[in-house]
Structure 1
């Protein structure tokens, strides 16, 4: 059944005029009056609805039921990702949503190819937000992961975010996920750009309390590394084995 995010709070509503972006999707999918759709507003749960009126630029639906269902992992996982170039960052965000990442922190780093600030940064964040919402529609999540404003790695390290584990991906790391003494309920993962974090950046992260994590003997690309780690963490402590 088609799923759509709407920014309007849906609790207590019996009918709804669908927003323009949903109307366009309804038209592309060639849905008809009487077809069923699923709506979610990001506040938890999802709503079953039936299309009642369709026009070229307007669509109305009747909300028929609420399902108090969550598809969030028991592991809260944040990803601090150095901004990568091309479509790599978008790929990381899209697949990260599918893999259950709860929050994204884009970082500017020394070796990062893409430099964003001001209006360009705001536009890129808006684009990334669209990708995250679309991924939630596709994968069934009813809670929208947070995408935070772009900051420098130095700024990020100055204030250690609350978590049970702080892990930085490093080819030189010796710590393995299986070696962690206790299973975290809340974890942050830090991943570098295409060229990796510089030695000074990695050293600063370690000094700030981040544990260097090694995923294996092979060097992974930036768009692979964080997702591979997220998948392993969901297998060990999340909901992949449930």
Structure 2
């Protein structure tokens, strides 16, 4: 059982110039106070980039928390290669759930996609605000599940521009898999070399032009079950089932 864990990106600068004792940044202190930490309690901080420390609370004020004796700890292992989840836009609460569960299941990048049959529109004016919100959802999920590396939440991207943008985000080799009911299942496929992209369409399915786009990029159709899954269920099931490739 972990001590209470808190996402603290400011720990990156603390790491380069350690101070002891250290007053936690205001946002981290707020969350620690909500968790009712007390002097003498152990506490863990992670910076979201793969580093983690454990220390002890030495003082608690109305709005401040001071820690001391911070020592590095070995973080839990991360996937050895990129695991990119790209999902068609869905209603907001369902996308939050996808980001949360995807983080728990080891995705390294998440891309919200604009597809021909996306269920919701894309508001460009609010795009960055939504991206920051999803990034915080991922950070909160890391605090709960024990990961020290927060997945990267990438901008809303039209599927037609996905290949070009993907080359900016991850290093090849990487194999694309697009989810399609009735296609060959994970259990019958050999683990791919390098990273994977899992493309999850809207509940209206992929448009024929999008399927041709996948063919142009040598994407592989992947089946999860003999029946049709909701989009958010398919996203989580795909990550869970392909985790066996990572374990191998």
* TM-score (ref. length: structure 1): 0.90
Q: Could you list the runs of 5+ residues in structure 1 that have no partner in the other structure? A: none
TM superposition shift of 1:169: 0.4
- Tell me if structure 2 keeps the 8 A contact 1:50–1:64: yes
Q: Is the 8 A contact 1:104 1:146 kept in 2?
A: yes
Q: Per-residue displacement from partner, 1:20-44 (whole Å, max 9, x unpaired)?
A: 2222222222111121100011232
Confirm whether residue 231 of structure 1 aligns to residue 240 of structure 2: yes
Report 1:1-242 matches (<5 A): 1-8=3-10, 9=12, 10-11=14-15, 12-15=17-20, 16-158=22-164, 161=167, 162-171=172-181, 174-235=183-244, 237-239=245-247
Secondary structure at 1:238's aligned position in 2? helix
- The CA deviation at 1:126 is 0.8
TM-score (norm 2): 0.88
Shift of 1:6: 0.7
Question: Post-superposition shift, 1:202?
Answer: 2.1
- Aligned-residue CA RMSD in angstroms? 1.9
Deviation at residue 175 of structure 1 after TM alignment? 2.9
Q: Distance in 1 between the 2:62 and 2:166 partners?
A: 50
Moved over 4 A (4+): 158-161
Specify the SS of the correspondent of 1:26: helix
Higher helix share: 2
Give the distance between the partners of 1:120 and 1:74, measured in 2 at CA: 33
